[in-house]
Amino acid sequence: MRLLEGRTALAKRVFPLKVLSTAKVSETLKLDLWQMPTPPVFPEETAIDGKFTFKRTFAFTNNTLTVRRDLALNALEFTPGEYAGLRDDLAALEAALRKPVILPRDPLQGASVHYLDEKYDISLFSPTSWVMTNTVVKEILSYKGKKSSAEIVLPYHPSVAQIDILQATVSNKNGRVSVAGPREMNVLDCEWASAAPRYAPGKKLILNLPAVEIGSVLYLTTATTVTNSPLPFRGNWYFDMIGQPADALSVTLDGKVLRQARDLKMHAVEPNLPAGPLWRDTLTVSKGDFAAFAAAIRPYLEVAPIDPLPVVGTNGVRTIRDWMARNIRIAGPGLYEMPLAEQATDPARVLKERYASRFDYIRTLCALLRGAGHKAEIVLAADDAGMDPRLRERNQKTYPNIGVYAYPLCRVERADGALFLGTENEYTPLEASAWAGATYWMPTAGGGFGQIDPENGQKSVTDTLTLDIRPNGAADVDYEQRTTGSEVGALRKEYAEILPEERDRLYQSLLGQIAQAAEATGPLVTDLAGYPFRLSFKAYIPNYAVFSGDLLTLSVPPFARAPFSSLESTPRENPLASPATDAAEEDVVVVFPAGYDTIEHLPDDLRYDYPRLTTRTTVDRTPDGRLRVTLRRQTPRQDARMFPADYAPLFRERARQIDSRANRQITVRKGQKPKGK
């Protein structure tokens, strides 16, 4: 209030405060929120009584938000005692006005298309033969929607399916209707066709819709005829939407309406969303039968042994694996992209032509290992390491999903345990499987499901950064990173084959992550033969610590971002998921100059059950008696998990604490004995 501006700066008064006039003001704000899915979130109502009064109230009725404020100055004079109360009231008023009304998200904000109608009509003749007609009517709402809808790409393989465009029209606001004809349709080979001529190429039907603009309504009907599918039929439909409005959806199977709905619920677009089947309104139809499919695929998993000596020159598992990685190029279809009868190639031909699909690569690897006397068999793995167990149960039993087991591996029995070999490069440690933690399926007689030991090659990273602070505040840096697991193969390959100028740029990037002023004082050292893989370097940072009298303060480089750091401050609507993570340990060791012995501030120790994370600070002495502080952050291997939406504030606060700059700051004082932490 202007009558009090500049009049309440004193902490206390000896004489009364006099103002020029009394005053009163009332304000009412009304805001139409007719499209809001949920009511706004209000701060607590505020009321101040006495010579200075204030009241703010909120109401939400008939989709209208009403905010009313009443402010009054009811006296011309405030005694010194009343003045102190007036200052408290003004402070309370400022605090209240800083608390906003939190409006729910606009459900159409960010939407690119509006689905007016969508229909799926399936006629199933057998588990591997069907016709599915899909009709979509949608309105374009934004440039993003225009860009994504103007060109339709429909991949298929001629040995499996045929796609026909039954309707493709665009209706614009000006009344113009455009129809896509043969000139707007093109059929191209798939990306791998030229690299793997032995395999019949897959195709892409590309449809370019004419005159698509913002506001256009698209009508598209396609018919997909499948006659020889490598996989049994499985369909998954969501009867709710994320970020895109939809008016109607229906699914019909063999003339029977399985489900239809109107005005589908729309969820907000939010980070950290769990897998859809765990929380969304889902319809799944599966004709999968693992036992029946095992009988069909089993003949293609049996390969005759091939003597590796004439080809590889040795019988060892590692040398055979490495020879395959160096000499056989992977190109061609995915496992279920075309019929296995057309894909499976004699391993002898693969060895001659030196390229193969992933399936043929594993078949050839198993043939060589069997020829060397090893017990090797083909299993099919899923990319589900760390996945929520409920999804695995769904894929294996509830709605059998054979298609997720799409990655052939060669399982080699040894006295010290099984090895699972894939298409990893020759630099990868033999025992470190890239599929650690994943499930696999054994289609052999009597076979079932198994899981590759999560500790067998699971990635783990340990970073150790030592900062030796000089008396002038500069820091000598000693950094080492140790990596275990299948990631070692990729790192060895990268640093073994990297060009010198690229290595220099990478080194500068690593230095910049510690401090922009960091200068290398030695080469970037990489151990390409040892296990774990080690990377280390030394550097110098000028003016790293800040002095203020007897105080020395520094902030250590930030750790990796905390889980859930991307969560927004607005109220959460959907469940949230924490993804599967690898084990990691980060250590920052700070050695202070001689004489700086009193600790004034250390980061807080943190320990969370979930996300499982521990930070701990310890204090000790170097052999020459200098103060040493070690900050350690540890995160174990964790599987993905889903949490209710009301956990978001808790995880957001934990992320704030973990990422806080205060939790990276250390202050020490010169001249006294250390008092401990």
CATH number at residue 261: 2.60.40.3140
In a domain, 33, yes or no: yes
Distance (Å, whole) CA 201 – CA 561:
44
Pick from 155, 474, 124: nearest CA to 288: 124
CB atoms within 10 A of CB 64: 12
In a domain, 404, yes or no: yes
Q: What is the pLDDT of residue 558?
A: 80
Take residue 616 and report the two structure tokens written for it. Answer: 């701990």
Task: Give the sign of the dihedral formed by CA 644, CA 646, CA 650, CA 656.
Answer: positive
What is the per-residue pLDDT across 445-463, written as a single tens digit (0 to 9) for each?
A: 667 999 998 876 677 899 9
Q: What is the pLDDT of residue 12?
A: 86
Q: What is the pLDDT of residue 108?
A: 67
With cut-offs at 50, 70 and 90, classify the pLDDT of residue 172: very high
Q: What is the pLDDT of residue 105?
A: 64
SS3 state of residue 505: helix
In a domain, 412, yes or no: yes
What is the per-residue pLDDT across 557-588, written as a single tens digit (0 to 9) for each?
A: 887 777 777 777 778 889 999 888 888 999 99
> Which residue, of 264, 287, 310, is where some domain finishes?
287
Cβ pair 592, 550 in contact under 8 A: no
What is the per-residue pLDDT across 223-271, written as a single tens digit (0 to 9) for each?
A: 999 998 999 999 999 999 999 999 999 999 999 999 999 999 999 888 8
Distance (Å, whole) CA 335 – CA 357:
8
Cβ pair 209, 154 in contact under 8 A: no
In 41-180, where does DSSP find H-type helix?
80-97, 143-150
What is the per-residue pLDDT across 581-628, written as a single tens digit (0 to 9) for each?
A: 888 999 999 999 999 999 999 999 999 887 788 999 999 999 999 999
Distance (Å, whole) CA 142 – CA 262:
23
Cβ pair 89, 72 in contact under 8 A: no
Indicate if 146 and 178 belong to the same structural domain: yes
The single residue listed with the structure tokens 């006296």 is 75
Indicate if 406 and 362 belong to the same structural domain: yes
With cut-offs at 50, 70 and 90, classify the pLDDT of residue 675: very low
What is the per-residue pLDDT across 116-128, written as a single tens digit (0 to 9) for each?
A: 999 999 999 999 9
Indicate if 470 and 446 belong to the same structural domain: no
Indicate if 318 and 248 belong to the same structural domain: no
Percent of the chain clearing pLDDT 90 (strictly above): 73
Take residue 241 and report the two structure tokens written for it. Answer: 């939407």
In this prediction the pTM is 0.82
Question: Domain span at residue 644?
Answer: 460-670
In a domain, 90, yes or no: yes
Q: What is the pLDDT of residue 1?
A: 60
Indicate if 501 and 433 belong to the same structural domain: no
Pick from 592, 590, 578, 598: nearest CA to 641: 578
Backbone phi, then psi, for 60, in 5-degree steps? -140, 105
In a domain, 676, yes or no: no
Residues present in the chain in total: 677
Q: What is the pLDDT of residue 218?
A: 97
Indicate if 424 and 487 belong to the same structural domain: no
Indicate if 283 and 331 belong to the same structural domain: no
Q: What is the mean pLDDT of residues 380-403?
A: 95
In a domain, 466, yes or no: yes
Backbone phi, then psi, for 603, in 5-degree steps? -60, 150
Distance (Å, whole) CA 507 – CA 630:
25
Contacts of 500 (CB under 8 A, 6+ apart): none
Cβ pair 427, 400 in contact under 8 A: no
Indicate if 43 and 180 belong to the same structural domain: no
With cut-offs at 50, 70 and 90, classify the pLDDT of residue 677: very low
Q: Tally the domains of the chain.
A: 4
CATH number at residue 391: 3.10.620
SS3 state of residue 454: coil
Distance (Å, whole) CA 495 – CA 512:
19
Pick from 440, 387, 385: nearest CA to 410: 440
DSSP 18-30: E-S--EEEEEEEE
> Which residue, of 287, 316, 333, is where some domain finishes?
287
Indicate if 402 and 273 belong to the same structural domain: no
Prior bond of 80 cis (ω within 30°): no
In single-letter form, the type of residue at position 264 comes to L
Answer left, alpha or beta for residue 600, where phi above 0 means left and psi between -120 and 50 means alpha.
alpha
CATH number at residue 76: 2.60.120.1130
Indicate if 512 and 371 belong to the same structural domain: no
Indicate if 427 and 464 belong to the same structural domain: no
621 forms bridges with which residues in the sheet? 627
CB atoms within 10 A of CB 76: 14
In a domain, 675, yes or no: no
In a domain, 297, yes or no: yes
Pick from 115, 403, 114, 441: nearest CA to 236: 403
> Which residue, of 252, 287, 322, is where some domain finishes?
287
Backbone phi, then psi, for 356, in 5-degree steps? -165, 155
Indicate if 528 and 411 belong to the same structural domain: no
